[in-house]
């Protein structure tokens, strides 16, 4: 078991240095690798397979709400990016510029899309003529580029993968409904599939998307008590429609502007999975998103019949619909256990000569190491139960952790003290004046994560300035 | 039926002007739209859904051969692109250059990937140490950019979508086997799923990929007699490995260079589907790739029970695994027929009051307009048969068309005359001297499409220079 320890010792403990632990897990679980391109990474097979499962799940949920997929160019001419004033101010400082095509300089430089509102608007302006052309509910899966100064794998990189939905509607009401609908798709996906509980709410004006009337967000809490913005949905009203002249003729033959939304979720969710569920042995993947759900590990595999039995179990479980592999390498069982744990594979099945004799196998859960001895006849049914329970308990555990790290503050001194001493969310009242947001950020580095849909009245006045309170806010330090 | 005619008249006839017919179909079948970004296009829902099906089918076939998906950056630093001499010469003239990140000039400019050999090599040089790390059989789905001067939807655009597989192997033999294996995956996919027959063969040195030792290709023939390179697979030998120092320690503890391959298929296959199967009424999609396989069109849908019955049929067919929709719009049946034909939906089911009374429906095939009256009880089984037959006959028809447009020439006068007068492939012998290829191109604009794996001996001497023949070549004018 010497090698076993070596693998675990290869990662820093969470409590010693959470940031280093994160980087270690990302590397040792073989999710990413760094590249010669500063701030950009390789997503390796184990990481990309998680993204494929995220795509599959989200895409099916999108399509069930009538979303259609499209693909727009990756380049945006500078003049197009500049059409909506707030939008260009938000993004121009962090885009990558293409200035030459082949050997010749371009007449107009283009940026690599940081997001595609302007391209969709340009497209919709041509596509939409009549109320019959509405709504448009389009989405694309692609990569985008934002020239960030400091980067971290999955959480903040110069290029990342995402989906971006862009819709156009006849009425303001329909646009608002779609904005909320997609936020709920994200929230349900996070909770049901990633086992990550989220707070649903609205961003403050300071934190909203460049060019949006309203930005809605789901916020989750990482193991270290820092918040992660996990998905956003924006209502643009008719602001972009006016800048890009996207008009339709209504049933009364009058010209009207469309109302638009956009919404996105990114590969940063892989970072969220790591930081919500991981432990000192590595990654822990929720069964519903795990590319491999079950690793069958033969014990004393050189003995006759062991490997055959392991393969027979794999075959049976594959046919029952599980994602399963056998580790038949020449490593020791202890080493294989460590690798399975480092990679976050939800359960392992141990099968050795004594198990075979007794007609049983041992199922070990990754999250709590619980062992269950199961008769081989009941393996598939029992495995299904264990994975369901694990999925449910991972969500419950994450929710309990979040709730235990969510504090209320009515007094500014207390508010600042909590933010200094206790990592987590602080719920406090706010006057809706940006000056207070700015002061809080300066005093604590915390930001308004969201004004939750479920408002509660913690006190009557703003925690910062003492003026009448207008909203309860989740405050926190964020990735 | 006035509107019916109008829609069909909206496209040019194939015989009048094939290029214009193609552009018309691409637009009227709502596959693409042009954008403000010159040479780049929007792939609309009907076009993107075809690509999604191509991805799904190919990806499953790749994974069955052990391929794993990854994602590498879209940018390549100039110094990296320059590491392999032939490669940089092939691609540098047509790349887009990023020179600024945000407000600052980059220290080293980067191109947007035209293909990712150099990035994979940089990655593999770090990843591969020992024979235990081999083989690496990775693939990515992404977009690439080549700054072409003249562009055509799907066939040649400045940005296009594709997959690119990149592998590294311990031995030359293994690399060669993988190169051929993936070419066969492409060929089988084209024939079985897209109903497009292909010639499998090897490119001449003049036509091979920049940096490859050998390039294999599948070539298909479009309706107008022009060839389309439909998928390529390259064996790099150890050329890139030497340029990028990708070495591993073998079992005898000796340092060895790896042997590499790459292989790609692109959105241009959507262009191939259009140009192989389309007709003067629009697109014709093979059932296996069609996003919607069946359009149920109610006749006299205002009459009681008609729409209900159409929806019940849809439901039954959905449950039986077909991709099916009902056209319940307020357009006339004739108009709906035209739309279904323009969009290439493989069959329509007509259901009206008389059909309901008789307990039947009418199935109409898109490709040959054959009508079959089917009892509603047998609908699903009969539909399945019809779609299978259609898939098979589309391939046979395309093969018959190709064979009827494939000529043999032993004499140069005859060779040139055929290429001038008869669109199609010309099979002729070649001495393997590039001077003859150059002359043929100058005299006829035709190029060597491939040296087919199935060699035949048409004559003993090169059709061009009369020296001893070394290979039979498919010659043709190409997209």
pLDDT tens figures, B409-455: 999 999 999 999 999 999 999 999 999 999 999 999 999 999 999 99
The pLDDT assigned to B250 comes to 97
In B115-268, beta strands by DSSP E: 136-145, 159-169, 199-202, 214-221, 227-237, 247-249, 255-257, 259-266
Starting at the earlier edge strand, list the strands of the sheet with A347-351. A324-326, A294-298, A347-351, A360-365, A371-375
Q: Which helix (H) or strand (E) holds B371?
A: strand B371-375
Given a contact cutoff of 8 angstroms between Cβ atoms, the answer to whether B284 and B367 are in contact is yes
Contact B49 A35 (CB under 8 A): no
| Residue B299 touches partner A, C-beta closer than 8 Å | no
> CA torsion B202→B204→B207→B212, rounded to 10°?
70
| B218 phi, psi to nearest 5 deg | -115, 130
Cα atoms in the 13 Å half-sphere on the side-chain side of A37: 31
Shortest CB distance from B45 goes to which of A33, A37, A70?
A70
Q: What is the mean pLDDT of residues B277-305?
A: 97
Q: What mean pLDDT value characterizes chain B?
A: 96
Q: Kindly report, residue by residue over B84-140, the tens digit of the pLDDT.
A: 888 888 888 899 999 999 889 999 999 999 999 999 999 999 999 999 999 999 999
Terminal Cα-to-Cα distance of chain A (whole angstroms): 37
Long-range contacts of A379-382 (CB under 8 A, 24+ apart): A379/A313, A379/A316, A379/A317, A379/A349, A380/A316, A380/A317, A380/A320, A380/A322
> CA torsion A182→A127→A248→A141, rounded to 10°?
10
| A469 phi, psi to nearest 5 deg | -80, 140
Lowest mean pLDDT among A10-19, B84-93, B177-186, B286-295: B84-93
The pLDDT assigned to A5 comes to 54
User: What is each CA distance from A188 to A62, A272, A380, A474, in whole angstroms?
Assistant: 12, 15, 27, 20
Strands A136-145 and A159-169: antiparallel
Buried b or exposed e, range A352-378, using 16+ CB within 10 angstroms: bbebbeeebbbbbbbbeeeeeebebee
Q: Which helix (H) or strand (E) holds A308?
A: helix A306-319
The pLDDT assigned to A6 comes to 62
Best A40, A47, A53, A73 member to test B by mutation, with max B CBs in 10 Å, is A73
Given a contact cutoff of 8 angstroms between Cβ atoms, the answer to whether B259 and B172 are in contact is yes
* Whether residue A301 has a cis bond before it, omega within 30° of 0: no
Q: At what angle do helices B268-277 and B18-28 cross, to 10 degrees?
A: 110
User: Count of residues for chain A?
Assistant: 479
| Residue B60 touches partner A, C-beta closer than 8 Å | no
| B346–chain A nearest CA distance, Å | 20
Q: Which helix (H) or strand (E) holds B296?
A: strand B294-298
Lowest mean pLDDT among A83-87, A329-333, B208-212, B286-290: A83-87
Q: What is the mean pLDDT of residues A158-170?
A: 98
Given a contact cutoff of 8 angstroms between Cβ atoms, the answer to whether A241 and A259 are in contact is yes
Cα atoms in the 13 Å half-sphere on the side-chain side of B141: 20
Lowest mean pLDDT among A319-323, A439-443, B207-211: B207-211
The pLDDT assigned to B8 comes to 60
Contact B71 A51 (CB under 8 A): yes
Strand partners of residue B428 = B473
Given a contact cutoff of 8 angstroms between Cβ atoms, the answer to whether B397 and B278 are in contact is no
Q: What mean pLDDT value characterizes chain A?
A: 96
> Please, what sign has the CA dihedral across residues A246, A95, B142, A141?
negative
Q: How many CB atoms lie within 10 A of CB B403?
A: 12
Shortest CB distance from B73 goes to which of A45, A71, A159?
A159
Shortest CB distance from B33 goes to which of A74, A93, A123?
A123
Distance between CA A365 and CA A375 in Å, rounded? 17
User: What is each CA distance from B81 to B95, B166, B214, B358, in whole angstroms?
Assistant: 11, 16, 20, 69
Contact B40 A75 (CB under 8 A): yes
Contacts of A96 in chain B (CB under 8 A): 75, 98, 100-102
Compare all CA atoms of chain B with the CA of A132 and give the residue at the minimum distance.
B329
Q: What is the mean pLDDT of residues A384-403?
A: 98
Q: Residue A392 — pLDDT band, cuts 50, 70, 90? A: very high
The pLDDT assigned to B426 comes to 98
The pTM assigned to this predicted structure is 0.96
What percent of chain B has a predicted confidence (pLDDT) above 70?
A: 98
Q: What is the mean pLDDT of residues B259-265?
A: 98
The C-alpha angle A251, A254, A258, rounded to 5 degrees, equals 85
Contacts of A324 (CB under 8 A, 6+ apart): A292, A293, A294, A295, A296, A314, A317, A318
Contacts of A139 (CB under 8 A, 6+ apart): A62, A67, A68, A69, A70, A163, A164, A165, A166
Strands A347-351 and A259-266: unpaired
Interface ipTM? 0.96
Nearest alpha-carbon partner for B167 in B68, B50, B282, B269: B68
| Residue A138 touches partner B, C-beta closer than 8 Å | yes
The pLDDT assigned to B7 comes to 64
Residue B297 zone, left/alpha/beta (φ > 0; ψ -120 to 50; rest): beta
Q: What is the mean pLDDT of residues A28-46?
A: 94
Given a contact cutoff of 8 angstroms between Cβ atoms, the answer to whether B100 and A95 are in contact is no
Distance between CA B77 and CA B97 in Å, rounded? 10
Best B46, B76, B96, B144 member to test A by mutation, with max A CBs in 10 Å, is B96
The pLDDT assigned to B1 comes to 37
| B392–chain A nearest CA distance, Å | 29
The pLDDT assigned to A424 comes to 98
Say whether B362 sits in a helix, a strand or coil. strand
Contacts of A143 in chain B (CB under 8 A): 71, 74, 142
Contacts of A351 (CB under 8 A, 6+ apart): A296, A297, A298, A299, A306, A309, A310, A313, A361, A362
Q: What is the mean pLDDT of residues B16-38?
A: 95
Contacts of B71 in chain A (CB under 8 A): 42-43, 48, 51, 143, 161
| Residue A413 touches partner B, C-beta closer than 8 Å | no
Given a contact cutoff of 8 angstroms between Cβ atoms, the answer to whether A261 and A233 are in contact is yes
Q: What is the mean pLDDT of residues B163-188?
A: 98
Distance between CA A217 and CA A184 in Å, rounded? 10
The pLDDT assigned to A100 comes to 95
Contacts of A292 in chain B (CB under 8 A): none
Say whether A203 sits in a helix, a strand or coil. coil
Q: Residue B2 — pLDDT band, cuts 50, 70, 90? A: very low
User: Can you spell out the DSSP letters for B74-113?
Assistant: SEEEHHHHTTSHHHHHHHGGG-EEEEEETTEEEEEEEEEP
Distance between CA A177 and CA A184 in Å, rounded? 11
Terminal Cα-to-Cα distance of chain B (whole angstroms): 37
Q: Kindly report, residue by residue over A208-256, the tens digit of the pLDDT.
A: 998 999 999 999 999 999 999 999 999 999 999 999 999 999 999 999 9
């Amino acid at each position: 078991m010497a090698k076993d320890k070596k693998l675990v010792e290869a990662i820093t403990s969470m409590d010693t240095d959470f940031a280093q632990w994160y980087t270690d897990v990302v590397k040792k679980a073989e999710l990413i690798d760094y590249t010669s391109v500063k701030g950009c990474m390789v997503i390796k097979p184990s990481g990309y397979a998680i993204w494929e499962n995220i795509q599959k799940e989200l895409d099916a949920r999108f399509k069930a709400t009538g979303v259609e997929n499209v693909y727009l160019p990756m380049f945006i001419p500078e003049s197009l990016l500049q059409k909506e004033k707030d939008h260009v101010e938000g993004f121009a400082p962090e885009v990558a510029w293409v200035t030459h095509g082949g050997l010749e300089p371009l007449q107009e430089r283009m940026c690599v899309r940081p997001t595609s509102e302007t391209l969709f608007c340009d497209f919709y302006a041509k596509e939409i003529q009549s109320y019959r052309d509405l709504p448009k509910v389009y989405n694309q899966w692609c990569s985008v580029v934002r020239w960030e100064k400091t980067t971290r794998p999955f959480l903040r990189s110069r290029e990342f993968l995402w989906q971006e939905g862009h819709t156009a509607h006849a009425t303001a009401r329909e646009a608002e409904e779609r904005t909320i609908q997609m936020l709920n798709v994200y929230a349900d996906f996070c909770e049901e599939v990633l086992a990550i509980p989220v707070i649903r709410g609205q961003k403050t004006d300071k934190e909203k998307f460049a060019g949006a009337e309203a930005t809605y967000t789901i916020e989750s809490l990482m193991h270290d008590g820092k918040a992660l913005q996990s998905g956003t949905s924006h209502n643009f009203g008719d602001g972009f429609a006016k800048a890009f002249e996207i008009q339709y003729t209504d049933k009364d033959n009058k010209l009207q502007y469309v109302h638009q939304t956009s919404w996105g979720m990114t590969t940063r969710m892989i970072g969220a999975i790591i930081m919500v569920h991981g432990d000192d042995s590595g990654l822990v993947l929720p069964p519903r998103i795990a590319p491999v759900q079950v690793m069958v590990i033969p014990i004393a595999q050189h003995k006759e019949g062991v490997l055959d039995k392991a393969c027979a179990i794999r075959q049976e479980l594959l046919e029952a619909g599980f994602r399963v592999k056998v580790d038949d390498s020449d490593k020791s069982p202890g080493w294989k256990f460590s690798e399975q744990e480092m990679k976050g594979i939800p359960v392992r099945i141990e099968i050795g000569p004594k198990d075979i004799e007794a007609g049983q196998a041992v199922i070990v859960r990754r999250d709590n190491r619980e062992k269950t001895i199961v008769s081989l006849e009941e393996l598939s049914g029992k495995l299904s139960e264990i994975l369901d329970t694990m999925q449910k308990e991972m969500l419950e555990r994450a929710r309990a952790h979040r709730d235990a790290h969510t504090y209320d503050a009515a007094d500014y001194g207390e508010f600042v003290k909590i933010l200094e001493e206790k990592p987590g969310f602080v719920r406090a009242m706010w006057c809706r004046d940006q000056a207070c947001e700015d002061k809080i950020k300066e005093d604590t580095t915390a930001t308004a994560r969201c004004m939750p849909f479920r408002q509660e009245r913690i006190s009557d006045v703003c925690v910062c300035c003492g003026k009448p309170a207008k909203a309860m806010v989740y405050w926190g330090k964020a990735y």
